[in-house]
Structure 1
Amino acid sequence: MSTTTAPNTAFAHDVVEGLSGEKKHLSSKYFYDDNGSRIFMQIMKMPEYYPTGCEFEILSQQSQDILKKLCFEERFDIVEFGSGDGVKTKQLLTTFLRNQADFTYVPIDISQEALDALQENITATLPNIKMTPKTGDYFEILDELAKSDTPKLFLFLGGNIGNYKPEEALDLLKKFHKGMNKGDMLLMGMDLRKNPRVIQTAYDDPHGITKAFNINLLKRINNELDADIALDQFDFYSNYNPENGEVNSYLVSLKKQHFHSTVLNTTFHFEKDELIWTELSKKYSLNEINNVAEEAGFSVVHNFMDCKHYFTDSLWVK
């Protein structure tokens, strides 16, 4: 291959580590390059993918109730981690502005393309909004934000917390807690346990869009690490376990094969039907939400749910 982008050092390291072990894996955080972000926007529009519609309903119909639950008496910041295209968040921002809330919106995303689209989308509807976008990893930006004593409402929407293993989710929430001041609040989208068939179809859709989303991880390896992966020699599989509330997704090698990365100077070998684990998506019960909030040092103020009780935007306070 003759055209590659400059390699992402962390990505390169994680690919070597993830594809060299006995149980191969690739981190779901690498789904969201510019192309991956575009594909995920397609996923959010699928009728089978209920989380987006459920959360849109909550933020469209209950944002005024959310505002009433906030304990801020002065100007505050709304800090959103992994903001995407902001279609759902716009519902909340519109309601807050209509109720004359004094805030600055601080969206954070690792994709500059996604942030550019977000800013255009938000300002087209809300031209007077105060907005300070930040591009980068929110683990790093959180340290910067912690230096300000302006009260903050943190948004972590879309059920993204479910993508972390239990110990990682708790670690992330403790980092949020550490970077927050007393009285700061966190509004977090959390997918709830429900009929297993509803969940299974949402994560293994008949259109092949979720498959493309996963295959994009291999495209990134080809493009950024100058590899020669035959994309059509991998399939996608996803499974929901209703006993623990976990969806696990995999790429499947369709034959015994290998590929080489020039950037990494490494050849990776796969057996036929060997798996690459790509994503966890955890579904919570209300008891689990209360327990994890308490363990991370938060108190649950209120669970805002859609009419089907498929999803909640859970409001916590430090």
Structure 2
Amino acid sequence: MNAKNSDFGSFAQDVLLGLSSNPKTLSSKYFYDEKGDKLFQDIMALPEYYLTRKEFEILESQHEQILRPVLESGEPFNLVELGAGDGLKTKILLRYLRDNQVDFSYFPIDFSGSVLKELKESLVQEMPDLKVTTIENTYRGALKERAWDNGKRSLILFLGSNLGNFQLKEAYEILDHLMIGTNHSDWVIIGFDLKKHPQITLNAYNDPTGVTRAFNLNLLARINKELGANFDLDSFIHWPSYDPISGECRSYLVSTKRQQVYFSSNQETIHFEAFESIFMEVSKKYNLIEIGELAERSGFKVIQNFTDPETYFADCLWQKK
């Protein structure tokens, strides 16, 4: 998916601003073009990438308990998903709701139009009677616009440790938007990757087959394609690190030589020193006490935390106060 005309300017602006800053940085939201979507699906299938597997395990074994408080009223509701992706895990909930003849409408939100198109096509095949309205937007934009606001209560899904892709200050800002984008007594199911052995965490972002490296480098390839840059992908190495105190796993691309990158779209040049890095992504891990503090600070109450048997991951049911 090429950037839409309306988005081209912001993409170019964000890229050049990030690469002109010190230290250099690129926004992880731009990972997800058509090739990036496919690479991330490959990442989710890696044996080292436990996150998807563990959350799938939670939803598959505990979906009835997770949804029970939401369904007790018997009222119709909106199921709104931030960062829907391919919907693999969400389909566990969708099938359960369909099989129990629950009256609900599904609003998947994603920054990637290509992944939303694939998700809707798969849902039409698998659950043709499902009411689906896709929303191509950012988390902040979608929560501000509230296209699903029709007087019904809402259940917001924020699965896959997506909140972990923001540093703590930004995570609070996202939760502030979540508070604004919900009404009193609305529900939230939010996924968190939990703190665990540091090596297990680091391995999830440094697979030996190089898929995660390719995923990061694909953003440089996208910049070459869409902004007319001349990044030499072979002159960058992928370098992840994990800080067990902050819980932040950070990914970098490191230039292996002194070089210049030229942008033909606007005739800008970006200089790299040898072994200068680009900060690509953060994936923050939490413990259950920190999760409770996030909820309280953001105007939600924790109803229950659902974890896998190894306590690698948690899906937490919150309700707006």
Match of 1:255 in 2: 257
Q: 4+ residue runs of structure 1 moved beyond 3 angstroms?
A: 3-7
- What are the within-5 Å matches in structure 2 for residues 164-183 of structure 1? 164-183=166-185
Task: Give the aligned residue type for 1:20.
Answer: S
Distance 1:311 1:187 in 2: 13
Deviation at 1:143, TM superposition (A): 2.6
Checking the alignment, whether the CA contact within 8 Å between 2:143 and 2:180 is kept in structure 1 is no
Distance 1:84 1:200 in 2: 23
Checking the alignment, whether the CA contact within 8 Å between 1:191 and 1:282 is kept in structure 2 is yes
Deviation at 1:121, TM superposition (A): 2.1
Other structure's SS at 1:276 match = strand
Match of 1:237 in 2: 239
Checking the alignment, whether the CA contact within 8 Å between 2:236 and 2:255 is kept in structure 1 is yes
Cα 1:257–1:289 shift into 2, 3 Å: same
Deviation at 1:149, TM superposition (A): 2.2
Other structure's SS at 1:87 match = coil
Match of 1:13 in 2: 13
Deviation at 1:4, TM superposition (A): 9.9
Distance 1:10 1:79 in 2: 26
Other structure's SS at 2:130 match = coil
Task: Give the aligned residue type for 1:115.
Answer: L
Match of 2:49 in 1: 49
Task: Give the aligned residue type for 1:112.
Answer: G
Other structure's SS at 1:83 match = coil
Deviation at 1:139, TM superposition (A): 2.0
Q: Which of 143-152 and 223-232 deviates more?
A: 143-152
Task: Give the aligned residue type for 1:277.
Answer: F
Match of 1:194 in 2: 196
Distance 2:228 2:311 in 1: 45
Other structure's SS at 2:246 match = coil
Q: Deviations over 1:150-169 (max 9, x none)?
A: 10000111101001010110
| TM-score, length of structure 1 as denominator length | 0.95
Checking the alignment, whether the CA contact within 8 Å between 2:260 and 2:271 is kept in structure 1 is yes
Distance 2:125 2:73 in 1: 27
- Please say if 1:289 is aligned against 2:310: no
Distance 1:39 1:175 in 2: 29
Distance 1:138 1:169 in 2: 11
Structure 2: tracts of 5 or more residues without a match: none
Deviation at 1:42, TM superposition (A): 0.5
- What are the within-5 Å matches in structure 2 for residues 88-99 of structure 1? 88-99=89-100
Q: Deviations over 1:200-230 (max 9, x none)?
A: 1101111100001110111121011111111
Q: Deviations over 1:33-77 (max 9, x none)?
A: 221111101000111100000111111111111111216431001
Structure 1: tracts of 5 or more residues without a match: none
Aligned length: 316
Checking the alignment, whether the CA contact within 8 Å between 2:251 and 2:282 is kept in structure 1 is yes
RMSD of Structure 2 on Structure 1 (CA): 1.6
Distance 1:73 1:282 in 2: 36
Cα 1:102–1:249 shift into 2, 3 Å: same
Task: Give the aligned residue type for 1:231.
Answer: L
Checking the alignment, whether the CA contact within 8 Å between 2:144 and 2:177 is kept in structure 1 is no
Match of 1:112 in 2: 113
Match of 1:212 in 2: 214
Match of 1:73 in 2: 74
Q: Which of 134-143 and 239-248 deviates more?
A: 134-143
Task: Give the aligned residue type for 2:303.
Answer: V
Q: Deviations over 1:80-134 (max 9, x none)?
A: 0111111110011111222222111111112222112111222322222121112
Distance 1:11 1:89 in 2: 29
Distance 1:141 1:27 in 2: 18
Other structure's SS at 2:204 match = helix
Distance 2:85 2:4 in 1: 23
Deviation at 1:265, TM superposition (A): 1.9
Cα 1:270–1:72 shift into 2, 3 Å: farther
Checking the alignment, whether the CA contact within 8 Å between 2:193 and 2:314 is kept in structure 1 is yes
Other structure's SS at 2:89 match = helix
Match of 1:134 in 2: 135
Distance 1:257 1:160 in 2: 34
Q: Which of 167-176 and 95-104 deviates more?
A: 95-104
Checking the alignment, whether the CA contact within 8 Å between 1:86 and 1:122 is kept in structure 2 is no
Checking the alignment, whether the CA contact within 8 Å between 1:72 and 1:151 is kept in structure 2 is no
Cα 1:270–1:145 shift into 2, 3 Å: same
| TM-score, length of structure 2 as denominator length | 0.95
